[in-house]
Structure formats: C-alpha cells, structure tokens
Amino acid sequence: MGHALNISDSLSYKLVDDKDVFMLISAVREGITYAIFNSIAIRFPFSTAEWSNFLHLSERTFQRYKKEKRTFDPLHSEKILEIILVYNKGIEVFGEKEKFDAWLDATNVALGGVKPKELLDNTFGINLLKDELTRIEYGVLA
C-alpha cells in the first residue's frame, strides 16, 4: 500500500517525466485509480468525451469508472501516462500551458491537417507528437 501512495503522490504533485521510468512501470502495473486520474486530468484541456476517446472506452463506461471509483487496467493506465508525458513535454517546449493548449487545438499542416490532440488516441500518434515537439524545441520545422 505504501508503494502505491508514493506513486499517487508522484503523479498528482509533480510533472511526470520519462526519467521516472521505474515509477511509471509500477504505476502501469498497479493501475491508476480514477481518483488519481481525476486529480491529474483537471489540469488538462480535454473533455470527458475526449478522454474516453483517447482511452477507447465508451463515455458510459468511463462514467462508471468515476462512479465506482475503479482502477484503470494496465493498458489504459499506460495510455494515460503516455498522454501525461507528451502533455508535460509540450508545456516545457511552449513555455506556457495556454500556448500549448492552443497548439493542441489548432489544425496543423505538418501533422496531416489534423488537430494535434486528435492524435492522442494511439501510440503512433503520441510518438508523432513527441517527434514534432522535439522539432519545435530545436527549431527544426518540417
């Protein structure tokens, strides 16, 4: 139990980054509780409908997780953490949450004419966003 609390504190009170790989592995294996997810998700500009789409859960199932205070399984927990990591990287690159939020919601020609946040529903899209953020960070525009 004590180990899970440390993971909860880490996820809830600091920016998670990929240097915390063992904490991330533990969090995925243990699963992220809805309460922890919610404490993180309130800082994100995504609606419940968007989160349910990212996690490939129906809105009804997603609401049941909330109502029953369920723990996400490892696959959903991993996806939540991947989104957190790319989001934190985006804030770091853009310097301000508001600027990154605007970028996520703007149609992007370099990303195939879609809004970047539309790519958060799968690992390939998340990796594409990471690559694009790295290019922006280093001033390399495709």
Q: Supply the pTM of this predicted model.
A: 0.83
Mean pLDDT, range 22-39, rounded to an integer:
90
Closest CA to 81 of 30, 11, 9: 11
Q: What is the pLDDT of residues 64-115, one digit of tens each?
A: 999 999 999 999 999 999 999 999 999 999 999 999 999 999 999 989 999 9
Q: What is the pLDDT of residues 117-129, one digit of tens each?
A: 999 999 999 999 9
The pLDDT of residue 123 is: 94
Mean pLDDT, range 133-138, rounded to an integer:
93
Q: Quick one: residue 47, left, alpha or beta (phi over 0 = left, psi -120 to 50 = alpha)?
A: beta
Looking at the chain, how many residues does it have? 142
- Name the one residue in this structure whose structure tokens are 């958060």: 120
The pLDDT of residue 141 is: 62
Residue type, 104: L
Query: What are the residue boundaries of the structural domains of the chain, listed by start?
Result: 2-137
Per-residue pLDDT band at 17 (split at 50, 70, 90): low
Dump the DSSP string for 78-139.
HHHHHHHHHHHHHHHHHSSHHHHHHHHTS-BGGGTSB-GGGGTTSHHHHHHHHHHHHHHHTT
SS3 72: coil
Question: In the structure encoding, which two tokens stand for residue 80, read together?
Answer: 């939540």
The pLDDT of residue 26 is: 87
